[in-house]
Structure 1
Amino acid sequence: MMKDLKAIQEALASSKNIVITTHANPDADALGSSLGWMHYLLSKGLNAVVITPTNYPDFLKWMPGNDLVRVFDKTDQQILDLVKNADMIFCLDFSDLKRIDEMGNYVRESNAEKVIVDHHRHPQKFGKYMVHSTEAAATAELIFDMIEGMDSEEFVTKEIAECLYAGIMTDTGSFRHSNVNDKVLHVASRLVSHGADASLIAKLIYDNNSINRLRFLGYALWELLKV
């Protein structure tokens, strides 16, 4: 799973501008893992930006760093330049460029080194590096492993912990799905110890009956059936 980790770390050491993206209609794991990874890269002195291919539900916009997210727009030259001039592009929670709609063409054409981080079955490796495991309950769990593997768990700040916990909580159905094991419970516990408020995060995501939330639930069910 982590065989490319050292190579990714070495590539980051010689990089400056990083783009992080995830699949269209981002869910909590997609956005949480992206923002968590962004916070880590920023702490290492890198220019890291999250660009989502589409907008996402308002009930996810409490996540730390949400105000820094850019939503892809092919008429926005600044966004196009960020993708074109990136040294590395991290593709989180997906492994098929079709999953990021028209942004996929720009990612494909970029000379940046691409890194795929995903936990879904049947990955399609379009990038140079891949961190993949179907044993992981969420991409957020893999991001935690990457941070721990590259540095140490002590680099997990409160902001990172909140983002990653949200991803794990939702992709495990609040720890009720069959993908729950001792490893993911351990990671979730560590995230709580680093400042993630489990009760508050659950309220922010689940205690919301907006139209956006109902649409999100429908999309989540569609994703579950598809993968």
Structure 2
Amino acid sequence: MFTSAEIIAIKDLLVPQNKIVIITHYNPDGDAIGSSLGLKHFLQQKGLQPEVIVPNDFPKFLKWMPDARKITIADYKRKQAGEAIYNADVIFILDFNASHRSGNLVGPWIEKARATKILIDHHQQPDAFDYVYSDVRIPATSQMVYHFIQALGEESLVNKNIAECLYTGIMTDTGGFRFRSTSATTHRIVADLIEKGADPAMITSNTWDTNTVSRLHLLALILGRIEVVKDGKVAILWLKRDELKELGFQKGDTEGFVNYGLSIMGTQVSAFFMEDLYEDFIKISFRSKDEVDVNQFSRKYFNGGGHINAAGGKYFKSIEETIEDFKEKMEAEEF
């Protein structure tokens, strides 16, 4: 958490006359959107008028959240986003650890901005900003936003809108409270959010019971050809660009696919490989159990990183070559 002196300094910045911008990473997920909107609603409770900016669009299943459709998407509103960042007095950087994680458009704007920059994030090796709250032990940035509100001594301002957004972020980034980083503290916070108005049944239904036909077709395809290697310890799933197009892929359709590999008895690592729709690279998602560190594995071999049990990467070969390289490198890993 921020030090007591930092909290006092940040409090002094959170005044109505200051322009506040909240930014999250490229390809925003549930925790990115939930933490950003949760913080936005909290700052509004304090009389501020913050603006949430995301580099590119996010899945439809997250757009039910309060004010989600008021988020400024930089890809669509470049001038508005750029001016807001340029004129900001304070920029909150949520759920990413370095400016370049917000993409080639927004990243340079953050670096050039004159604003005071406040990072709240749970990924490893954060860059230096004016104020940094980084803790890799916490399963979701949305939980960290709640801790931040607690540190300010303003839990009484948490209303239904804040509770719904933060609950969604915690729920999605813990895989429905399944991942090992989910702690007793996480559950206590979730209980408090429920008491403040978050409805678990509604949130779960709005977020996860929203399958499109294209998503189910894609899921059926990859599950029908899932491959298990390394004596049953590693599962591999993959999709090609032409398959995505043929089956009507929509943004967010492959969310969570990588987790199916870990549901196989005996697996400790799941890897999902997908050709990018527009650019010539392979997008990779890694998940693992126990002490198997896919963060370091991805950093070392696949231009990525993340958490010990959840990481992503990019590779610039064909999907067939990428999978073969992965198999070779994974075979050399000891676990």
Q: Give distance in 2, aligned partners of 1:75 and 1:150.
A: 33
What is the match of residue 117 of structure 1? 120
Q: Give distance in 2, aligned partners of 1:78 and 1:214.
A: 29
Q: Give distance in 1, aligned partners of 2:196 and 2:20.
A: 25
Rg comparison, structure with higher value: 2
Residues 28-47 of structure 1 correspond to what in structure 2 (within 5 A)?
28-47=30-49
Relative contact order: is structure 1 or structure 2 higher (C-alpha 8 Å, sep ≥ 6)?
Answer: 1
1:215 paired with 2:254, answer yes
Q: How many residue pairs are counted as aligned between the two chains?
A: 226
Q: Which one is further off, 37-46 or 215-224? A: 215-224
What is the match of residue 110 of structure 2? 107
Q: Give distance in 2, aligned partners of 1:65 and 1:93.
A: 19
Q: Give distance in 1, aligned partners of 2:196 and 2:76.
A: 38
Residues 1-227 of structure 1 correspond to what in structure 2 (within 5 A)?
1-3=1-3, 4-13=6-15, 16-73=18-75, 76-101=78-103, 102-125=105-128, 127-210=129-212, 211=215, 212-217=251-256, 222=285, 225=294, 226-227=305-306
Q: Give distance in 1, aligned partners of 2:91 and 2:119.
A: 9
Q: Deviations over 1:100-129 (max 9, x none)?
A: 11201111111001111001122222x200
In the TM superposition, what is the alpha-carbon distance from 1:14 to its structure 2 partner?
7.8
Q: Which one is further off, 1-10 or 53-62? A: 1-10
In structure 2, stretches of 5+ residues that fail to align are 216-250, 260-271, 273-284, 288-293, 295-304, 307-335
Q: Give distance in 2, aligned partners of 1:66 and 1:219.
A: 26
Q: Deviations over 1:119-156 (max 9, x none)?
A: 1122222x200111122111001111111221322111
More helix by share: 1
Aligned in 2, Cα 1:37/1:66: closer, same or farther, shift over 3 Å?
A: same
AA of the residue aligned to 1:36: G
Q: Give distance in 2, aligned partners of 1:219 and 1:68.
A: 30
In the TM superposition, what is the alpha-carbon distance from 1:6 to its structure 2 partner?
2.6
**What root-mean-square deviation, in Å, do the aligned CA atoms of Structure 1 and Structure 2 show?**
1.9
Q: Give distance in 2, aligned partners of 1:75 and 1:169.
A: 30
Q: Give distance in 1, aligned partners of 2:123 and 2:86.
A: 27
In the TM superposition, what is the alpha-carbon distance from 1:7 to its structure 2 partner?
2.2
Aligned in 2, Cα 1:173/1:209: closer, same or farther, shift over 3 Å?
A: same
Report SS of the residue matched to 2:51. Answer: strand
AA of the residue aligned to 1:44: K
In the TM superposition, what is the alpha-carbon distance from 1:27 to its structure 2 partner?
0.6
Aligned in 2, Cα 1:62/1:14: closer, same or farther, shift over 3 Å?
A: closer
TM-score, length basis structure 1: 0.92
In the TM superposition, what is the alpha-carbon distance from 1:2 to its structure 2 partner?
2.4
Residues 21 and 50, structure 1, Cα contact 8 Å, conserved in 2: yes
Q: Deviations over 1:88-111 (max 9, x none)?
A: 010000011111112011111110
In structure 1, stretches of 5+ residues that fail to align are none
